[in-house]
Amino acid sequence: MRNQSRLPIFRYGPLAIRTVFTVVAVLLSSLVIPATSSAVSLTGESSTYLQSRQTGDGTKELPLYEYLNFSVSDLGKESISFQFGGWLRYELKNGDADHRTTNDLSYAYLSYRNSVANTMVNVGRILVFEGVASDRVDGVYVKTDLKHNFGLSAYGGMPAETGTDLAGNKNIYGTRLSYQSPGLYQIGLSYLKEEKNSEQFRKEEGVDLWVKPVAKVELMGKSRYNAINSAWSDHSYFLVLGPFSKLRLSTEATQINYKDYFTGTTSSVFDLSKSSIDPNDKVRILGEEAAFKATDTVSVSLDYKAYTYEIAGKASYYGGKIAYSSARTVGAGLSLHKMAGETNKLKYDEYRIYGFRKIGHTEVTVDALDVKYAEAINDVKDAYSLTLAAAYEISPSMKLGADVEYSKNPDFDKDLRTMIKLTYLFDTAKTGNKAAAQGAPKAGTIQQAMAAPLTEQGKPKEGN
């Protein structure tokens, strides 16, 4: 997803953020819910991380993270809910007062759903996954079914951005029209336009489809057109065959034009001027994976991807893996891959081995990754990482864990990171629902599956 935001909205200490936001949710519920209502539920998840690490210049950091997601459901007689997701980072050891705290409001919106015509209306900071759109918007989103198997969605507001110098009046709007034969196919046509100070910043059009002509054959994908540059920016299509007995085949065909794909970037994460990617390059990817379920506990897979870059040349990535898992209490895996390319960074062998074991309320995971380059990069020919993670389930709703990771790569001679994490699930529902953030955005539609993933900027790296 392209859009992320950093807003100075949080002014609470990281240890108090869970309490403050929960109180706000309860107060919101008490204000808008009639006194006769007893079905209101507050569900969510809080994750607190304390990490120790060292930056490239040798500075030691001790950041504390708080991630909070919650949902207030069944507001009144109508199907109304409130969804919230955000995070805060506070540097305990270094940093001045102006840069010690960073935060992000991922989403916060009021949602209305009606079974008539499958109508949905979201208002606030919303997540939009519709055809060419994979954005966060401060505005409104509406979706409904039309007659004769047609469907329509529309959205508009201000784009939520991060790490960019794009000041001025901003607005974004778009729509998607779809037609489907239930269980057989769905095709969608979408449009998006973003303006800065009344000038075009992004203008994209696209088509997406999902087809299942017969059982065990499924095709999905989309194509996007950059209307400002008058060029196709990308095509991504996936074909899944099976399972046939115990075999499943997955095929990928992707083509990306970086210059057109990243036009109108609204996040510094996708600023090609700060990366090693040549913005004038193009890539075609053809891939195949064959997964075989050997037994109820053992699976084997082989995969191959062919990369064809116009500037960086060709590269092939191939290998296989074997995994063992038994009732989610014990498991292990081994994978071997090779990247054969025309540049030093695309010439390496990759090995990974991992294992986990759960005994009672305790789970331990070990994960080792080794990358051997054909030619040394920054005097490093063997890059590796070793992670040890342990977690203890204090209660069905609370888990405490710790990770230790040691790595060496072309960017860090020695990198040691430790992390303590506490996860808490809460649920005030009186109906016995499991503690989970009900109604929070979940990937599942074709558009979401094909969209770029939503990333939470600043989230610490975790072990398995």
pLDDT in tens, 33-75: 444 445 688 999 999 999 998 776 677 889 999 999 999 987 7
Statement: residue 444 has pLDDT above 60: no
pLDDT of the residue at 16: 41
Query: What gap in Å lies between CA 283 and CA 11, rounded to an integer?
Result: 44
The per-residue pLDDT of the chain, averaged, comes to 83
Cis amide leading into 243 (omega within 30): yes
- Tell me the mean pLDDT in the region 341-349: 90
Query: What gap in Å lies between CA 368 and CA 164, rounded to an integer?
Result: 36
- Tell me the mean pLDDT in the region 295-321: 95
Contact present, 210 and 231 (Cβ < 8 Å): no
Statement: residue 31 has pLDDT above 70: no
Query: What gap in Å lies between CA 54 and CA 407, rounded to an integer?
Result: 12
Eight-class DSSP state of 141? E
Query: What gap in Å lies between CA 443 and CA 435, rounded to an integer?
Result: 19
At 212, is the pLDDT very low, low, confident or very high (cuts 50, 70, 90)? very high
Q: What is the DSSP string of 311-361?
A: TTEEEEEEEEEEEEEETTTEEEEEEEEEEEESSGGGEEEEEEEEEEEEETT
pLDDT of the residue at 77: 64
**Count of CB atoms situated within 10 Å of the CB of 128:** 27
Statement: residue 315 has pLDDT above 80: yes
Lowest-pLDDT range, 74-88, 190-204, 304-318? 74-88
The size of the chain, in residues, is 464
Strands 362-377 and 380-395: antiparallel
Sign of CA dihedral 90, 93, 95, 97: positive
- Tell me the mean pLDDT in the region 362-374: 97
Between 48 and 449, residue with greater pLDDT: 48
412-433, pLDDT tens digit by residue?
778 899 999 999 999 886 444 4
**Count of CB atoms situated within 10 Å of the CB of 183:** 7
Contact present, 122 and 143 (Cβ < 8 Å): no
Query: What gap in Å lies between CA 356 and CA 364, rounded to an integer?
Result: 6
Query: What gap in Å lies between CA 125 and CA 164, rounded to an integer?
Result: 19
- Residue 355, classified by CB atoms within 10 Å of its CB into exposed (0-12), middle (13-18) or buried (19+), is middle
Lowest-pLDDT range, 38-52, 120-134, 247-261, 440-454? 440-454
Statement: residue 191 has pLDDT above 50: yes
Q: What is the DSSP string of 245-295?
A: TTEEEEEEEEEEEHHHHTTT--BGGG-GGGSSS-TT-EEEEEEEEEEEE-S
Query: What gap in Å lies between CA 282 and CA 410, rounded to an integer?
Result: 25
Q: In a 3-state reduction of DSSP, which class is residue 60?
A: strand
Statement: residue 461 has pLDDT above 60: no
Q: Above pLDDT 90, what percent of the chain?
A: 61
**Count of CB atoms situated within 10 Å of the CB of 72:** 25
Lowest-pLDDT range, 196-200, 225-229, 275-279, 397-401? 275-279
Statement: residue 9 has pLDDT above 60: no
88-122, pLDDT tens digit by residue?
999 998 766 666 888 899 999 999 998 888 999 99
Q: Which tokens in the block code for residue 12?
A: 């609470």
- Whether pTM > 0.85 for this model: the answer is no
- Residue 209, classified by CB atoms within 10 Å of its CB into exposed (0-12), middle (13-18) or buried (19+), is middle
pLDDT of the residue at 97: 62
Query: What gap in Å lies between CA 303 and CA 317, rounded to an integer?
Result: 8
At 343, is the pLDDT very low, low, confident or very high (cuts 50, 70, 90)? confident
